[in-house]
Chain A
Amino acid sequence: MADCGEADGPVKKDDIVRAKNEGKELTKEEKQRLRKEKKHQKKQKDEKRPSERVKEKKPVAPSQPVATQPPTQKAPTVLPASAPIPVPVSGAPSYSSPAPSPADKPAKSRAEQKAERRARQEADRASKQQSCSSSSKTKAPPSELNPVVKRLPEHVQVDDPAVVKRLTKKFERQQIPLRSDYDYKVSLFSHLHQYSRKAPLTQQLSIPSTVIHPSIVRLGLQYSQGIVVGSNARSVALLHAFKQVIRDYTTPPNEELARDLVNKLKPYISFLNQCRPLSASMGNAIKYIKKEISNIPSQFKEEEAKTKLQTCIDRYINENVVLAAKAISKYAIEKISDGDVILVYGCSSLVNHILCEAYDKNRKFRVIVVDSRPRLEGREALRRLVQRGISCTYVLISALSYILPEVSKVFLGAHALLANGYVMSRVGTSQIALVARTFNVPVLVCCETYKFCERVQTDSFVSNELDDPDDLMVTRKGKTQLENWHDVSSLRLLNLVYDVTPPDFVDLVITDLGMIPCTSVPVVLRIKNLEQ
Chain B
Amino acid sequence: MELQAVLMAAGGGSRMMDLTYNTPKPLLPVGNKPLIWYPLNLLERVGFEEVIVITTKEVQKMISTDPKVKLDVKMKLDLVCIQEDADMGTADALRHIQQKVKTDVLVVSCDLITDAALHEVVDLFRAHNATLSMLMSKAHEFTETVPGQKGKKKTGEQRDFVGVDGTGKRLLFMANEADLDEGVVIRKSIMRKHPRMHIKTGLVDAHLYCLKKSVVDFLADNKSISSIRGELVPYLVRKQFSKSTNSPKVIDETHQNLKKNDSNVNLEIQISSRDEELLHLTQERSCWNDHRGDMSDAYHGGRLRCYVHIMDEGICYRVNTLAAYIEANRLAPKLFDEPAVHPSAVVSERCLIGADSIIGASCQISDKTSIKRSTIGVSTTVREKVKVTNSIIMHGVTIEEGCNIQGSVICSNAVIGRGADIKYCLVGSAQRIEPDAERTNEVIVGTDQLMEI
Interface residues of A (CB under 8 A from B): 200, 202-203, 205-210, 214, 217-218, 221-222, 225-230, 232-234, 236-237, 239-240, 243-244, 247, 314, 317, 321-322, 346-347, 349, 377, 379-381, 383, 386-387
Point out the residues of chain A lying under 8 angstroms from B285, CB to CB: 230, 232-233, 236, 321, 349
Q: Give the most central of A207, A221, A386: most B CB within 10 Å.
A: A207
A379 to B290, CA, bound (A): 12
Which A residue's beta carbon lies closest to that of B117? A203
A213 CB to nearest B CB, Å: 9
Point out the residues of chain A lying under 8 angstroms from B281, CB to CB: 236, 317, 321-322
In residues 291-336 of chain B, which contact A (Cβ within 8 Å)? Answer: 292, 295
* Known contacts A202-B119, A206-B47, A221-B123; A240/B275 CB under 8 A: yes
- Total A-B residue pairs with C-beta atoms closer than 8 Å? 109
A129 to B453, CA, bound (A): 103
Which A residue's beta carbon lies closest to that of B46? A207
A346 to B5, CA, bound (A): 43
Point out the residues of chain A lying under 8 angstroms from B287, CB to CB: 229-230, 233, 346-347, 349, 377, 380-381
A324 CB to nearest B CB, Å: 12
User: Does B271 have its Cβ within 8 Å of any Cβ on chain A?
Assistant: yes
Cβ A237 vs Cβ B282 within 8 A: yes
Cβ A386 vs Cβ B295 within 8 A: yes
Point out the residues of chain B lying under 8 angstroms from A243, CB to CB: 275, 278
User: Does B289 have its Cβ within 8 Å of any Cβ on chain A?
Assistant: yes
Point out the residues of chain B lying under 8 angstroms from A236, CB to CB: 278, 281-282, 285
A423 to B121, CA, bound (A): 40
Cβ A208 vs Cβ B275 within 8 A: no
Cβ A244 vs Cβ B275 within 8 A: yes
Which B residue's beta carbon lies closest to that of A221? B127
Cβ B288 vs Cβ A206 within 8 A: no
Cβ B292 vs Cβ A379 within 8 A: yes
CB within 8 A of B119: which of A203, A210, A314? A203
Cβ A205 vs Cβ B119 within 8 A: yes
Which B residue's beta carbon lies closest to that of A387? B295
User: Does B126 have its Cβ within 8 Å of any Cβ on chain A?
Assistant: yes
A465 CB to nearest B CB, Å: 16
CB within 8 A of B274: which of A203, A230, A314, A346? A314
A-B contact pairs, 16 of them (CB 8 A): A200-B119, A202-B122, A202-B123, A205-B47, A207-B106, A208-B2, A210-B47, A221-B127, A227-B288, A228-B288, A230-B286, A230-B287, A236-B278, A321-B281, A349-B284, A377-B287
4 cross-chain pairs, A with B, having the tightest CB-CB distances, nearest first: A206-B47, A347-B287, A233-B286, A214-B2
A83 to B106, CA, bound (A): 59
CB within 8 A of A229: which of B126, B129, B274, B286? B286
Point out the residues of chain B lying under 8 angstroms from A232, CB to CB: 285
Which A residue's beta carbon lies closest to that of B126? A218
A208 to B1, CA, bound (A): 7
Convert B108-127 into 0s and 1s, putting 1 for each residue whose CB lies closer than 8 angstroms to a CB of A: 00000000011100110011
A233 to B5, CA, bound (A): 33
A162 CB to nearest B CB, Å: 32
Point out the residues of chain A lying under 8 angstroms from B278, CB to CB: 236-237, 239-240, 243, 317
User: Does B70 have its Cβ within 8 Å of any Cβ on chain A?
Assistant: no
Point out the residues of chain B lying under 8 angstroms from A217, CB to CB: 2, 126
